[in-house]
């Protein structure tokens, strides 16, 4: 647990079926999007995060914010900004304690619509991050055209940096570029010095 410096958390949904066992997000999220229940799952996750942030535990643990993953379907829904704002306002949680997170794949879909959604949510006080940067779907334009606070670099960039000089150059150059754009960087998958 963090004691001296601030930290952040990410909320993750997991599905455990009595017959199937663990069903991973890569399997159930596309189904939820297809059958139209992704908004309900997203609302559930946001309400649970607000309930957690409404306790004294985050402050005791030094938690700055909690990341909440968004589906592209949620982000491009015309009433998403209003709906998310209402949930957070109802809970009494400061919006800056919530960081909405989208995948690089989602960022590649519709720059204009997504950029407007991000801009509106950030104006209310929410934070925004891109997950999986470098996984191959979005181009560098998305890094500066959308007002992300945090960029999470894909673990494959890290693995490539461990295997070759070229990989190390790509990882270090990407991190430097993101920092020069005044964004924070997290490299996913670090397990060794």
pTM of the model: 0.83
Q: What is the mean pLDDT of the chain?
A: 85
pLDDT at residue 86 greater than cutoff 60: yes
Around Cβ 53, how many Cβ atoms within 10 Å?
21
Residue 139: pLDDT band (50, 70, 90) is low
CB proximity list for 119: less than 8 A, separation 6 or greater? 147
What does the pLDDT read at residue 77?
Answer: 84
Q: What mean pLDDT comes out for the span 50-76?
A: 90
Residue 140: pLDDT band (50, 70, 90) is low
Q: Which residues of 70-101 are buried (b: 16+ CB within 10 A; e: fewer)?
A: bbbbbbbbeebbebbbebbeebebebebbbbb
d(CA 39, CA 54): 22
What does the pLDDT read at residue 141?
Answer: 66
Apex 165 CA angle, 162 and 167, nearest 5: 60
How many CA atoms lie less than 13 Å away from 132 in the CB half-sphere?
13
pLDDT at residue 109 greater than cutoff 90: no
Which of 3-12, 151-160, 162-171 has the weakest average pLDDT?
3-12
């Amino acid at each position: 647990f963090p004691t001296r410096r601030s930290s952040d958390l990410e909320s993750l949904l997991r599905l455990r079926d009595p017959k199937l066992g663990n069903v991973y997000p890569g399997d159930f999220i596309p189904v939820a999007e297809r059958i139209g229940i992704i908004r309900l799952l997203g609302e559930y996750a946001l309400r649970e995060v607000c309930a957690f942030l409404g306790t004294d535990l985050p402050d005791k643990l030094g938690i700055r914010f909690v990341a909440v993953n968004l589906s592209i379907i949620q982000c491009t829904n015309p009433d998403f900004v209003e709906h998310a704002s209402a949930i957070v306002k109802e809970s009494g949680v400061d919006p800056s304690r919530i960081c909405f997170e989208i995948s690089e794949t989602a960022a590649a879909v519709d720059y204009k619509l997504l950029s407007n959604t991000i801009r509106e949510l950030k104006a209310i006080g929410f934070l925004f991050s891109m997950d999986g940067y470098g996984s191959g779907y979005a181009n560098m334009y998305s890094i500066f055209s959308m007002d992300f606070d945090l960029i999470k670099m894909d673990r494959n960039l890290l693995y490539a940096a461990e295997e070759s000089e070229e990989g190390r150059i790509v990882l270090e150059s990407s991190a430097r570029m993101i920092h020069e754009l005044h964004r924070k960087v997290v490299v996913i998958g670090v397990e060794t010095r």
